[in-house]
Structure 1
Amino acid sequence: MKSSSDFIRVNDLALTVSFADGSRWPANPPHPQPVVVSFSFAHDVRTAAATDDLAHSVNYSTLAKGMQAVVGTEVFPSLERFADRVCDVYASQYAQVPSFTVRIRRPQALLYGAAFGIEITKPGSDARPSEEKLFFEDVVGHSLIGIHPHERQRKQRVRVNISITRRWPRQQPMDFRTLEQKIFDCVEEATFLTVEALASEVARVVLDAVNDETAITVVRVSKPSAIINAASAEVEVSRDSFDFKVASRAASANSTDSPATPAPPPASASPSPSLYTRVDVLPHRAAIALGANIGDRFANIETALRLLEAPGADLDGWTGPPRVIVIDTSFMYETAPMYVEDQPKFINCACMVETDLEPRALLSFLKDIENAVGRTVSYRNGPRVVDLDIVSYDSIVLDTRPESARSLLDNLAGELVIPHPRVTEREFVLRPLYDMIPEYIVPLTGRSIEELLTTLMLQDTDEPAMYKVIPFPRYPLPSISERPAQLSKINPVPPTATFWTHPVTSIPSKGRPQPRRTYLMATLNVTPDSFSDGSTHNTIPTALNYATAAVTHGAHIVDIGGYSTRPNAAYVAPEEEFTRVVPVIQAIRSEGAANTDPLTPVPPGTSSPLAALRTRRAGALISVDTFRWEVAEEAVHAGANCINDISALAGPTWPALASADARAHFSKMRQVARDLAVPVVMMHSRGPAGENKDYGAYAYAAGGRGRGAVLEAVRVELGERIDAAVRGPGGLRRWLVIVDPGLGFSKTLEGNLEVLRDAASIVADRPLVAREGESEPRRNLLVGYPQLIGPSRKSFLGAVLQRADADGTGGYEGRETRADERDWATAAAVGCAVQQGAMVVRVHDVQRQADVVRVSSALWG
């Protein structure tokens, strides 16, 4: 028997209710005001209809009297609390009906509009609502809006209707009076040419005020005076917070200096949505899984991603802007093959895209990309150069197979099934999705990505553990005489030199050991004034000697810097920084084969020990320590494999985005790193190292211990910066970002110790501390990122050594130390960093600290 689609409704029941929040203005004491309540019951009326018996009918009069009894003389703190009480009455008196909807209007609540209200649908007697909808009816303002000359001279009426859907449980009651004023002011101050632009701006204002990442707003803006023979012209838009956290599509089309490219939020505050306003949003959002296990796996995936959004892609003769825009990427994983185990390991990742292609057209496009990268026909689940699959598309369910074939899971050749029928059993698909959209509800399952992954990890299994990987490209680029026509539309993708691994820390695999390795970064300052080794390695011969010794003693990467960041260091012009850094990189690379992996043995047949060392040095990974995009770009082209930016792409100014120049710098630095496909170390800083040490704004996180404020600041400030860099058109690949908490930068002694002793919490999969007024804490945006920690010879270690024993009984009176006298103190800090799970430690004395890393890894690895 089919389920009932019958309903019983009571429309516009007039009540008088007292609210503590007043109406148009706050009222003290509260006074009664009109409220209009409508009910809708899902109720099978066939029995009542067949028997015409009142015993099977709903008594409308009883319902109305029950609602009037609810009101009584009680003063309700908000409209939401009144709606909760109405739902509670339904749950106790009408438990037999499958669902119930209540819509409540306060017609005298608004100063500029007709009504403020709420609508809640409650499924079943024991279930809680999954969401609620608040609405503003007919908010009227006046705007300069339109393209005709007379429309630019006088304001005209504009009517706005808004609904705001937010997930349950609610964070806090709606401050409707303040939000109405914001909406009205937005309309009154607007000077847009189009209704579309005004509707989008109103949506931005609403979401900014609501401050709830789950919220969705629908805004209808109408012009009653637009058409003589019509009541109005109207535009309706639907937006969520993510729509305003990504940059304009125009800025993503390889623009080098457009100010519309997304910039990071100020380091000390939440992001300003006005900085993220998006134009020309493509209408659909899809998740695409990528995998490769033949050839240069990393380069194959990067090539596929660039082809995804190449302008003028050959899609049925399309020659215009990209039809697909990548707006987010996951971390990257190396995984053992499933189903067919006798083949190389896979590299797996995923991306989120926006597109105007329908699902079948998108699938066809992905297959064209696979062919362009070089995929050939293979057996099912066999090796492939690259593989692209649509995992989700909005929230649709689609199966192109004949009805009779839909019970099987493996007959997918040439067909499209969304969601993928094996998504719930594949860790290599769920983990990348968890990185980007953990709360996404997979259609047909009714469960989120997080729930599915957690359930899968609770199952006993002998499968080898997945682990994250960071590929390092090889530079300088090899000469390319000719490129296939399909690849001519994208920038060349660099080949891979080597890759690093780090363990999965979020929702870890049950009972499976996670591989863990701590890499050593050697510090090579080619400067005359660095705090530790200024003027020691600032010539090419001395720099080469240091690089040789570092690689010999176990350094995995050499970090070359030409601008001292110590307090009160002299300003260095970009040209001077360039002439310090680039020639050293060129000298290192010119000594031998540039494709030698520093982790591999010296190639056989080497003519002499000295030549062997030079060859190994020539193949070492190199990082360039700079916050200038010009220096970073030239250094990578000269042979660097990584960018180490103490400003997290924001440049030397703080707070970030203090000027248009800062925003443009962020845009350009992000584009350079993206185009070069190099890993980027993004460090927490607040400008000059010795300044801006006040973390009072984060005192709420300190608790009774007095600790935690600095850790929370790093999570919040650096998290927002990295989120702006990774998400949105033109974003960095998530798998190429390394987090540096910024020891020694804008932190007191106790702040540095706090960060070092609990560094693991910075990237832990646990929420941020809830701020006052937040009913639910926010997600830590740094979850899962690898960390670089650089304590080497820093002044906070010297401050510790200078302190005498507190009670004088230990016999230690404290002593002053030069930077180069702090290597044993550094060893203690490095051991702590290893224990805290740092993927990389940055040191000066590689020989001593390599021993520390080895022993520390044996203890805590």
Structure 2
Amino acid sequence: MTVDVVKPKALPYADGIRIRSFRSRDGSRFSPDRFSIQQLSCNLVVGLNPCEREDKQLVCFDVDISVTSEQRNVLDLRRLARDIRQEAESSEFISLESLASLAAQVALRHADHPDNIVTVRAMKPKALVFADAAEVEVVRASRDYPVATKVGASTPGVPSLALDPPVGTVSFPGQHLAAIALGSNLGDRFANIEAALYLLERPEHLPASQEIGMSSRITIVNTSFLYETAPMYVTDQPRFLNCACIIRTAVSPLVLLGVLKNIEHTMGRVPALRYGPRAVDLDVLFYDNEVIDTRPESSRGSLEGLEGHLVVPHPRIAEREFVLRPLYDMAPDFVHPVLRKPIREMLSDILKTCPAGSPAMIKVMPFPTYPHSPILAPPVAIVPEIPHTHRYWKFPPSRSLIPTGQVSTSRRTHIMATLNVTPDSFSDGSDHNVLSAALDYTTSSVSTGADIVDVGGYSTRPGAAYVSPDEEIARVIPVINGIRALGSDKARNVLISVDTFRPDVARAAIIAGANCINDVYAFTGPDYPHTTASAAYFEDMKKTARELVVPVILMHSRGDAGANKDYSRYSSVLSGVAQELGEKVEAIVRGPGGVRRWLVMIDPGIGFSKSVDGNLEVLRGSASISTEVRAVDGTWNPLRGYPQLIGASRKSFLRFILSQRDHGGSYEGRETAPKERGWATAAAVAAAVQQGASIVRVHDVLELGDVVRVADTIWG
């Protein structure tokens, strides 16, 4: 007897999963179970002909795995699907057969057993004119891949990929992972960091870069958060920005060091005071699990004689919080190959010894300056594409999270003013769709405390009329231009976010003068369940955000705001939000072309695809969505550490609460229009601040700003 269990909406980029069990009459299992991922969608460049390699194409995978009874409860199909997508999209294979074999190799790594067999069907749906698809099928077993591919494999000659397990799960000959630290405390620090990362992936743009060719390119596959830190060793200098990244490359450690020094020199670093100010500083922290010291043997074992030599792991990692914390963001469980301690333990050790009064590291998010000014020279001459920094936000940790001995600046929750330039938004439709009214609202909001103005031209109200991309652009661009031409310096220079899920609208708005993208669908568009169109939205929005170097707000939703409210397959609504949004954020941040982690803010999506009880659960427990606590199975929360936006202003769950009769008193309940929910919104905003929200989105800036200021003081 066979038993099939089908979960059609279990994965964000696939049609679903199927679990088939074979059982005897008494119910006992008598052969391996089979797990299937159906129609896993990827966008990549593939094809033998040059014309096929000009643009990305849709490729779909069906993956069928047989597993033993011992493995059936530990196989993580979500992680497997994510790994196949990321490895396929970062590969350079030109044939469908090679891609199918790659997918099989990834699957066998997840279901590691000599008897396991994987069948992969790879399809190009648009490859042939008179057929539905071009398709190949491969059947593979572990013996077909003689090279060890497990994360952390210790086989001689095979690099360990434990630096970044979710991305680097398959070992290609000659490929390595390395961790790079970056710092800057002179000039436009944010532009310096971004320019250094830009050049790291394009070393051919550097002078005297003959040592590296296009065949040995460097690819950034992960980034940390960005921190402002007090200077160490030499304290009489400006505060630093510090971060780290993980790269995938085929270049040797010494060639990599040469590239980093070339970047430093090109960007203006000159020999000066040791540990003194610098435009940019780059260091190799780890290179796979290798231990390297190019100094004469007599000089090893000390921290002297490092100039001009390569020592890996970096010899001062254990004493530097500004290095360990960014590494912890990306690879907390990576074990230092010399000290034999995981990064998380090394960070914990150093935090226990913080001197009294030492300043805490502060997470920061930069906002770029748009539109470009023809008067101002580029902040980094060699990379004119990098914009100037308009301003940046600080996100001090909660006092409960500051280690003993450290001190932090006071907490401040940022305020986002809601400017809907639409005729049909649920709360303020037609209030501000005339330019003069929109500008008046902006001026008033900024003068009463708004930190950013969110301009939207397409209502997300259930049943709202369709708006074409051209119409959406025609609504938002004049408003952005108008704000940037206001007479008040404060209003003219306010931060602007564009509330859109469309890449072309986002790009037009940023170029016109916006500084941030606020996407209610987190880059996958309005279709739910996700479709091939969702994958196209994802790639285009990711590319737009990366190229323009702008912060993005990624919200949890499931298509139409009033639908898809069932979370019964999760232990709670909160866990469903964390898992579904976490998968998207991981795919956006990790892998080639990823958005910088420090440019991402998350929004749990109150009022979108959630019942009244679900909205209340999210509001009262939103802090848990970005908690540092591990799951029961030992996995890390993919949303840990991300700053949160909460938008509860005037929403319909408040209407429902106010309409209910108070059975213990004389209140009979009443119906309220959106504009009558100001006091109710105040309670929700206070709860959001108490949960640690970094930003709240509101309509009434003055009144709710008062709520924020008092709540910050109470819970800061």
Aligned partner (choices 619, 643, 648) of residue 493 of structure 2: 619
Q: Residue 172 of structure 1: CA displacement?
A: 8.6
Aligned partner (choices 306, 309, 319) of residue 415 of structure 1: 309
CA contact (8 A) 2:151 2:169 kept: no
1:390 corresponds to which residue? 284
Report the CA distance shift for 1:497/1:715 in structure 2 as closer, same or farther (over 3 A).
Answer: same
Note if 1:583 corresponds to 2:478.
yes
Cα distance between partner residues in 1 of 2:485 and 2:300:
60
Report the CA distance shift for 1:239/1:512 in structure 2 as closer, same or farther (over 3 A).
Answer: same
Note if 1:323 corresponds to 2:222.
no
Give deviations 1:204-226, integer Å, cap 9, x for gaps: 22245469xxx9x999xxxxxxx
Q: Residue 410 of structure 1: CA displacement?
A: 4.2
1:503 corresponds to which residue? 396
Q: Size of the alignment, in residue pairs?
A: 606
Cα distance between partner residues in 2 of 1:372 and 1:727:
28
CA contact (8 A) 1:559 1:625 kept: yes
Residue correspondence of structure 1 range 670-689 to structure 2 within 5 A: 670-689=542-561
2:636 corresponds to which residue? 779
Share of identical aligned residues, percent? 50
Report the CA distance shift for 1:172/1:742 in structure 2 as closer, same or farther (over 3 A).
Answer: farther
Cα distance between partner residues in 1 of 2:183 and 2:540:
30
CA contact (8 A) 2:418 2:455 kept: yes
2:453 corresponds to which residue? 558
Residue correspondence of structure 1 range 728-807 to structure 2 within 5 A: 728-768=591-631, 770=632, 776-805=633-662
Aligned with 1:815: secondary structure?
coil
Note if 1:201 corresponds to 2:201.
no
Over aligned residues, Cα RMSD in angstroms?
Answer: 3.5
Cα distance between partner residues in 2 of 1:346 and 1:467:
11
Give deviations 1:232-257, integer Å, cap 9, x for gaps: x97634435799xxxxxxxxxxxxxx
Note if 1:813 corresponds to 2:668.
yes
Aligned with 2:366: secondary structure?
strand
Which structure 2 segments of 5+ residues have no match?
Answer: 1-21, 34-47, 49-64, 81-93, 119-142, 154-165
Residue correspondence of structure 1 range 3-18 to structure 2 within 5 A: none
Residue correspondence of structure 1 range 562-573 to structure 2 within 5 A: 562-573=457-468
2:683 corresponds to which residue? 828
Q: Residue 618 of structure 1: CA displacement?
A: 0.5
Give deviations 1:63-95, integer Å, cap 9, x for gaps: xxxxxxxxxxxxxx99xxxxxxxxxxxxxxxxx
Q: Residue 503 of structure 1: CA displacement?
A: 2.6
Aligned partner (choices 701, 704, 707) of residue 846 of structure 1: 701
1:300 corresponds to which residue? 192
Aligned with 1:766: secondary structure?
coil
CA contact (8 A) 1:457 1:508 kept: no
Aligned with 2:406: secondary structure?
coil
Aligned with 1:697: secondary structure?
coil
CA contact (8 A) 2:195 2:380 kept: no
The one-letter amino acid paired with 1:472 is F
Report the CA distance shift for 1:377/1:545 in structure 2 as closer, same or farther (over 3 A).
Answer: same
Cα distance between partner residues in 2 of 1:453 and 1:294:
27
Q: Residue 407 of structure 1: CA displacement?
A: 3.0
Aligned with 1:353: secondary structure?
strand
Aligned with 1:696: secondary structure?
coil
Which structure 1 segments of 5+ residues have no match?
Answer: 1-24, 32-76, 79-108, 112-146, 148-161, 165-170, 183-191, 220-232, 244-270, 592-610, 702-708, 771-775
Residue correspondence of structure 1 range 110-509 to structure 2 within 5 A: 173-174=70-71, 200-209=102-111, 236-240=146-150, 283-310=175-202, 312-314=204-206, 315-316=209-210, 318-320=212-214, 323-462=217-356, 463-479=358-374, 487=382, 492-504=385-397, 508-509=402-403
Q: Residue 196 of structure 1: CA displacement?
A: 6.3
Aligned with 2:214: secondary structure?
coil
Cα distance between partner residues in 2 of 1:645 and 1:278:
32
CA contact (8 A) 2:188 2:379 kept: no
Cα distance between partner residues in 1 of 2:377 and 2:420:
39
Cα distance between partner residues in 1 of 2:449 and 2:700:
11
Please give the TM-score of this superposition, normalised by the length of structure 2: 0.79
Cα distance between partner residues in 2 of 1:458 and 1:483:
42
Aligned partner (choices 722, 727, 738) of residue 585 of structure 2: 722
Q: Residue 511 of structure 1: CA displacement?
A: 3.9
The one-letter amino acid paired with 1:371 is H
Report the CA distance shift for 1:421/1:208 in structure 2 as closer, same or farther (over 3 A).
Answer: closer
Report the CA distance shift for 1:197/1:333 in structure 2 as closer, same or farther (over 3 A).
Answer: same
Note if 1:521 corresponds to 2:431.
no
CA contact (8 A) 1:636 1:642 kept: yes
Please give the TM-score of this superposition, normalised by the length of structure 1: 0.66
Note if 1:531 corresponds to 2:426.
yes
Note if 1:631 corresponds to 2:505.
yes
Give deviations 1:239-291, integer Å, cap 9, x for gaps: 35799xxxxxxxxxxxxxxxxxxxxxxxxxxx9x9xx9989786000000000
Residue correspondence of structure 1 range 61-80 to structure 2 within 5 A: none
CA contact (8 A) 1:311 1:321 kept: no
Cα distance between partner residues in 2 of 1:692 and 1:279:
39
Cα distance between partner residues in 2 of 1:562 and 1:353:
38
Aligned with 1:371: secondary structure?
helix
Cα distance between partner residues in 2 of 1:566 and 1:394:
49
Report the CA distance shift for 1:839/1:329 in structure 2 as closer, same or farther (over 3 A).
Answer: same
Report the CA distance shift for 1:567/1:322 in structure 2 as closer, same or farther (over 3 A).
Answer: farther
CA contact (8 A) 2:426 2:674 kept: yes
Aligned with 1:447: secondary structure?
coil
CA contact (8 A) 1:218 1:239 kept: no
Cα distance between partner residues in 2 of 1:845 and 1:413:
57
**Post-superposition, which runs of at least 4 consecutive aligned residues in structure 1 deviate over 4 A?**
25-31, 192-199, 208-211, 240-243, 276-282, 480-486, 505-508
Cα distance between partner residues in 2 of 1:620 and 1:194:
49
CA contact (8 A) 1:504 1:784 kept: no
CA contact (8 A) 2:211 2:255 kept: no
Give deviations 1:545-583, integer Å, cap 9, x for gaps: 000000000100000000111111111111110000011
CA contact (8 A) 2:190 2:241 kept: yes
Q: Residue 193 of structure 1: CA displacement?
A: 7.1
CA contact (8 A) 1:199 1:235 kept: no
The one-letter amino acid paired with 2:535 is R
Cα distance between partner residues in 1 of 2:277 and 2:508:
37
Cα distance between partner residues in 2 of 1:110 and 1:744:
44
Give deviations 1:749-798, integer Å, cap 9, x for gaps: 00000000111111001123x4xxxxx24321000000000010011111
Structure (1 or 2) with the larger CA radius of gyration: 1
The one-letter amino acid paired with 1:236 is P
Give deviations 1:362-403, integer Å, cap 9, x for gaps: 001001111222222221110000000000000011111112
The one-letter amino acid paired with 2:579 is V
Aligned with 1:529: secondary structure?
coil
Cα distance between partner residues in 1 of 2:380 and 2:215:
18
Report the CA distance shift for 1:282/1:532 in structure 2 as closer, same or farther (over 3 A).
Answer: farther
